[in-house]
């Protein structure tokens, strides 16, 4: 149903100290769209950072980026890369020594705009080491940090972002590095969408279909950031553009992960955990839908199988909506009905409703996902 995905050159991410490839992940090609985030801790404080990496991974984050600003951060990175359950990306601002240290620490990827290093000999040193160690590089252009000359001549436009990124691409290509991923982030949804569309065209024309990392930068606080990212990144993914995504929220980064997954699930691109549909409640509701929904969410946290559950406040839409769900629950006065694919399983008093619902969910999992294990595994 969704537009065919654009062709892209896959890149493999793996912390270099991992002997096997089991903890590595592909970005691009026909591989699933990858969920990313970034730590907000001081990278030098590696224990604290690792705790956040684990929290992110537990929530479903598949690649984690850490900023590397100084030698203390670089030292911390060594520990993080060794103990991380997921590939680690080093975010380098412009200091080539940090880039070298990060590659040597064995990171799975660098986020680096090579043009920012300014000194060609230093750039060459970094890129050659990256080639030698097989370290892919993401070129990440943000609207807020365009090259001054491009900003002056082209303004804050999608064209300026693409042009800016292509300069960095050219530097890597000239040095023989083509394990490239590109991002073009603006805080404005429309600008971001047009920039990625333009980049898709540009890369297709020059026959270098590098993978694209999607993001809206500085998207905002929890609600606005969720809206802008869902809209902008969702639109691009709907058009087949995007191999990995990061939702930027001014919030605990762990909050970013369910948003990423929500976007991917809504577009049918990936599956993870319950899909809960819940009616918005109205004057017809004979049960507290919000309360019931929260209880179902609490149950959902215990499973990773993709069970569809419909939570309905009354029997008007209840049976209908639950036909499209694996399990449905509709409220009545002091009691509730449970449905299985729209067929009534039974009516239960309110105090027994959740127990009956859980039983039905367990049955669905046993029948539809016989290989499913009731535990959360990280690796």
CA pair distance 15, 140, nearest whole angstrom? 20
CA pair distance 354, 188, nearest whole angstrom? 43
Q: Which of residues 7-46 bind a second copy (CB under 8 A)?
A: 38-43
304 HSE (CA, 13 A, CB side)? 14
Residues 42-55 as b/e (b if ≥16 CB within 10 A, e otherwise) read: ebbebeebbebbbb
CB of 91 to a second copy, least distance (A): 7
Site string for a second copy, 268-307 (x = CB under 8 A): x-------xxxxxxxxxx---xx--xx--x----------
Query: Which residue number, 179 or 188, has a Cβ lying nearer to a second copy?
Result: 188
- Cβ atoms 123, 117 nearer than 8 A: yes
CB of 90 to a second copy, least distance (A): 11
- Cβ atoms 256, 47 nearer than 8 A: no
CA pair distance 83, 35, nearest whole angstrom? 20
Q: Give the H or E element holding residue 257.
A: helix 256-266
Query: Which residue number, 263 or 353, has a Cβ lying nearer to a second copy?
Result: 263
CA pair distance 379, 361, nearest whole angstrom? 25
Q: Which of residues 215-244 bind a second copy (CB under 8 A)?
A: 217-221, 223-228, 230-232, 234-235, 238
Q: Which of residues 177-216 bind a second copy (CB under 8 A)?
A: 187-190, 193-194
Among 24, 85, 240, 320, binds a second copy (CB under 8 A): 320
CB of 251 to a second copy, least distance (A): 6
Q: Which of 180, 185, 177 is nearest to 146 (CA)?
A: 185
Stretch that binds a second copy, among 124-132, 172-180, 246-254, 354-362 (CB under 8 A): 246-254
CA pair distance 331, 80, nearest whole angstrom? 49
Query: Which residue number, 176 or 283, has a Cβ lying nearer to a second copy?
Result: 283
CB of 153 to a second copy, least distance (A): 15
Token pair 């920039």 is found at 195
Among 75, 251, 344, 354, binds a second copy (CB under 8 A): 251
Query: Which residue number, 72 or 124, has a Cβ lying nearer to a second copy?
Result: 72
Q: Which of residues 101-160 bind a second copy (CB under 8 A)?
A: 142-146, 156
Among 50, 53, 66, 112, binds a second copy (CB under 8 A): 66
CB of 279 to a second copy, least distance (A): 5
Among 258, 295, 299, 306, binds a second copy (CB under 8 A): 258
Query: Which residue number, 142 or 208, has a Cβ lying nearer to a second copy?
Result: 142
Stretch that binds a second copy, among 108-116, 123-131, 202-210, 249-257 (CB under 8 A): 249-257
Residue 91 is a binding residue for a second copy (CB under 8 A): yes
CB of 131 to a second copy, least distance (A): 27
Token pair 């929260």 is found at 294
Contacts of residue 151, defined as CB under 8 A and 6 or more positions apart, other chains included, come to 160
CA pair distance 30, 111, nearest whole angstrom? 22
Beta bridge partners of 180: 137
Among 14, 28, 46, 73, binds a second copy (CB under 8 A): 73
- Cβ atoms 69, 76 nearer than 8 A: no
Residue 4 is a binding residue for a second copy (CB under 8 A): no
Stretch that binds a second copy, among 80-88, 106-114, 252-260, 349-357 (CB under 8 A): 252-260
Contacts of residue 214, defined as CB under 8 A and 6 or more positions apart, other chains included, come to 183, 196, 233, 236, 237, 241, 242, 244, 245, 246
CB of 42 to a second copy, least distance (A): 5
CB of 324 to a second copy, least distance (A): 6
């Amino acid at each position: 149903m969704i537009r065919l995905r654009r062709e892209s050159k896959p890149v493999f991410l793996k912390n270099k100290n991992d002997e096997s490839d089991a903890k590595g992940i592909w970005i691009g090609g026909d591989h699933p769209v990858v969920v990313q985030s970034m730590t907000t801790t001081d990278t030098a404080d590696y224990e604290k950072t690792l705790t956040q990496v684990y929290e992110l991974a537990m929530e479903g984050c598949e690649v984690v980026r850490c900023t590397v600003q100084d030698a203390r951060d670089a030292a911390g990175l060594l520990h993080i890369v060794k103990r991380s359950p997921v590939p680690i990306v080093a975010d380098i601002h412009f200091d080539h020594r940090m880039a070298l240290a990060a590659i040597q620490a064995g990171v799975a990827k660098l986020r680096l705009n090579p043009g920012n290093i300014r000194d060609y000999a230093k750039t060459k040193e970094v890129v050659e080491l990256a080639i030698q160690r097989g370290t892919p590089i993401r070129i990440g252009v943000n609207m807020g940090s365009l090259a001054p000359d491009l900003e002056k001549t082209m303004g804050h436009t999608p064209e300026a972002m693409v042009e800016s990124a292509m300069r960095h691409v050219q530097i890597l290509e000239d040095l023989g590095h083509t394990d490239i991923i590109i991002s073009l982030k603006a805080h404005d949804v429309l600008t971001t969408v047009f920039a990625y569309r333009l980049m898709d065209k540009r890369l297709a024309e020059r026959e270098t279909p590098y993978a694209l990392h999607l993001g809206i930068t500085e998207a905002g606080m929890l609600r606005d950031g969720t809206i802008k990212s869902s809209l902008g990144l969702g639109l691009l993914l709907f058009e087949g553009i995007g191999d990995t995504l990061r939702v930027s929220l001014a919030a605990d980064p762990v909050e970013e992960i369910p948003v990423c997954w929500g976007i991917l699930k809504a577009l049918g691109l990936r599956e993870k955990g319950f899909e809960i549909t819940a009616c918005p409640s109205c004057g017809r509701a004979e049960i507290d839908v919000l309360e019931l929904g929260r209880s179902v969410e609490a149950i959902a946290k215990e499973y990773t199988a993709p069970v569809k559950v419909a939570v309905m406040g009354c029997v008007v839409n209840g049976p209908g909506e639950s036909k499209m769900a694996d399990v449905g629950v509709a409220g009545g006065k002091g009691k509730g009905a449970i449905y299985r694919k729209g067929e009534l399983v039974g009516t239960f008093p309110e105090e027994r409703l959740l127990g009956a619902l859980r039983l039905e969910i367990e049955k669905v999992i046993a029948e539809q996902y016989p290989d499913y294990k009731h535990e959360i595994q990280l690796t």
